[in-house]
Amino acid sequence: MLRLRPFKMRDAAYLVNWLKDERSFKMWSADKFDYPLSVEQLKNYKEKYEEDEFGWIFVALDDKGIPVGHFLMRMADYEKNSVHLGFIIVDPNIRGKGYGVEMVSLGVKYAFEILKVKRVTLGVFDVNPVAEACYKKVGFITETYHKDIFTYGDEKWGIFSMAICR
């Protein structure tokens, strides 16, 4: 069983340790952070979203209260009744056990039941089929695909824009 709570700076060390290799880091950050991730970058990120009335940073805790996942909820649009999820990550040491599905499901539940939006969106690179499958298990469907939108080394990555509606 997972619980969600707001991100705290003491969670930064977990996040930094979950992103060890540059390719995985780029899949997570899409160049919004510099590699390697640092506590200082996360401090700036937290401060930015403390001032953003349309965005919130969450941490998923396991049954012992230990952070095992993280995501950002941003671009809340109350006229369009939508919000976007991003920077989704689960501790790599416990992947494959359903934590990602549970965490994203809790995020969607928060969006629908607390924020009262009718639509939740996210994007996932085509080189990350495990994450794409996770989102599909939650109920997200692909709405559009943008080919070769991101470059990593000599690779070109596309992105699936996905959504779930209430």
pLDDT one-digit tens code per residue, 68-121: 999 999 999 999 999 999 999 999 999 999 999 999 999 999 999 999 999 999
What pLDDT does 110 receive?
Answer: 98
Radius of gyration of the CA atoms of the chain, in A: 15
CA distance 5 to 106: 11
The pLDDT tens digits of the residues spanning 36-52 come to 999 999 999 999 999 99
CA distance 31 to 33: 5
pTM for the model stands at 0.97
The mean pLDDT value of the chain amounts to: 98
The CATH number of residue 54's host domain is: 3.40.630.30
Please list the residues that pair with 163 across neighbouring strands: 121, 141
Q: Into how many domains does the chain fold?
A: 1
What pLDDT does 100 receive?
Answer: 98
Query: What angle, 0 to 180 degrees and rounded to 10, lies between the N-to-C axes of helices 99-113 and 129-138?
Result: 50
Residue 25 sits in which domain range? 3-165
